Structure 1
Amino acid sequence: MGFASNRAFKVAGGAVFEKDGTPKASLLKAMERAVEVQRPLVLANIRRLQRKHPDATPAELVSIVEKHYLATVTGGGAAVGATAVVPAIGTMAALGLSAAATVGFLEATALFAQSVAELHGIQLQDPERSRTMVMAIMLGEEGTAMMQAVAGRGAKPWAKSLGGMSSGLMGSVGSGIRRQFTKRVVARQGTAMLGRALPLGIGAVIGGAGNHAMGKGVIKTARKAFGPAPQTIPGELAEDLRQLPDHKS
């Protein structure tokens, strides 16, 4: 890139990053909100998959959720990266779209993680617990180690322990996870955000490949967090799905 492009890139970066390179408070707030998904949306997602795959076991549904999630986050990153090729969309606009794509990545991850949790019989009605679960999964090995240490699960799946934690312990764990989430995940997404805004088609490659790699990491961590899926749809989940207004048996 020439001098003018570099200057434009720096100006665009200032729209979402502070001078020290950290994301601005408005972006951080949007990213934290993005990992909160209401349970009705999660149930609707599972029901939609059940209708398309009526004979699928929970394990098969989890596999389908994984594939859909990876396709969603990979396609989203590439699509936003491709906007930098269009002459009418400058670096500033591309970076703005990229910030939106980052929030979209987090929203997709939250829907994925909570859908898998439901299929394992884990219902986290408390926003703090569900948010902590999603953030821990996005932290990868670090989040896994932190949750296993608190849950006393060793190398075993830790997600089920969230429901039994006291409010005090949950608050402490949630604060620690949130701090690391801001430090690690936001840094990784910040790099991906800038990469997606690169012109000349490079952004499309970086955006798609970067999101694909992060998505695969999320899936790997989720498998460790939840363990094997049950043989049948958990009773409470099955009942909740039956009670949905437009559910078809």
Structure 2
Amino acid sequence: MSDDDASQPDVSGPAAGVITAALRRAIRLQSGTARRYVHSLREKHPEESPAEIRSRLDSLFLGTVTASGAAVGGTAAVPGIGTLVAFGAIGAESLVFLEAAAFYTLAVAEVHGVDVRQGEHEELLVMTVMLGASGTALLANAVSSGGGSAAGGSLAARALRVPGLKEINSRMMHRFIRKFAVKRAGLAMGKLAPAGLGAAIGGWGNRRLGRTVVDTADATFGAPPQHWSAG
């Protein structure tokens, strides 16, 4: 365990099971949806390049998570809503963020022509993007150890050639569970602030986390291709 891991609070037992199940459910639900959405965008905007479609995905994701964070922050401040009810809404909104991030990551993979449907690559890349810099560091180390660094392409593309993902996915999941729980807990307390402050904190906090997801997707997938691949 690294010093960074040791400094994080332990999240285990039922909480870990809930987060793990939520992540896998989000990926399962969003996998086909993300691919179909990218195809629909291409049909509606046939003149647009992969970079332009990717920009649309960035804006959609950031707008979605910002709005959901602000809405829950506002709901938590409404007079008459009990704290337990407010926390219930915050918990549901955390799942919205998780599903939005899964959708976004898988849609970006489609734009970049990275087929993640085999094995456990969907889970690997979604966790990588949501973890931020620590996720890309873990993935880069796995790619290097697995011999994928010699081949060209983005980190995401090279990850597809890494054999035996169970160990790296297990490490990713362990870190993801703790980081996700800690970050969402911090935002939850801010969203319970009175008046409009909770909405402001919720929207700002979600957008900040969303921006990290977008930046990490840049680092993981690299620049979009200049042209769409045939087929």
Short-chain TM bin: 0.7 to 0.9
* 1:84-233 paired onto structure 2 within 5 Å: 84-126=76-118, 128-152=120-144, 153=149, 157-166=154-163, 168=164, 170-233=165-228
Once the two structures are TM-superposed, the CA of residue 157 in structure 1 deviates from its matched residue by 3.2
Once the two structures are TM-superposed, the CA of residue 90 in structure 1 deviates from its matched residue by 1.9
Runs of at least 5 residues in structure 2 that lack an aligned partner in the other structure:
1-8
**1:137-195, Cα deviation, whole Å (9 max, x unpaired):** 111111111111111249x83100222122x2x11110111111112222112211232
**1-structure distance, mates of 2:86, 2:198:** 9
User: Are 2:75 and 1:83 aligned?
Assistant: yes
Q: TM-score with structure 2 length normalisation?
A: 0.84
Q: TM-score with structure 1 length normalisation?
A: 0.79
Amino acid at match of 2:123: R
**1:60-96, Cα deviation, whole Å (9 max, x unpaired):** 1011100110000011100111002322322211110
Partner of 1:244: none
**1:184-213, Cα deviation, whole Å (9 max, x unpaired):** 222112211232233322221111010010
Partner SS state of residue 164, structure 1: coil
Amino acid at match of 1:130: E
**1-structure distance, mates of 2:45, 2:214:** 21
Q: Is the 8 A contact 1:195 1:203 kept in 2?
A: yes
User: Are 2:55 and 1:58 aligned?
Assistant: no
**1-structure distance, mates of 2:57, 2:71:** 21
**1:113-142, Cα deviation, whole Å (9 max, x unpaired):** 110111111011136211111111111111
**2-structure distance, mates of 1:172, 1:120:** 26
**1:13-52, Cα deviation, whole Å (9 max, x unpaired):** xxxxxxx885853642443235414432112211232244
Q: Is the 8 A contact 2:31 2:103 kept in 1?
A: no
Partner of 2:24: 33
**1-structure distance, mates of 2:74, 2:55:** 29
Runs of at least 5 residues in structure 1 that lack an aligned partner in the other structure:
1-19, 240-249
Q: Is the 8 A contact 1:36 1:110 kept in 2?
A: yes
Alpha-carbon RMSD across the aligned residues, in angstroms, is 2.2
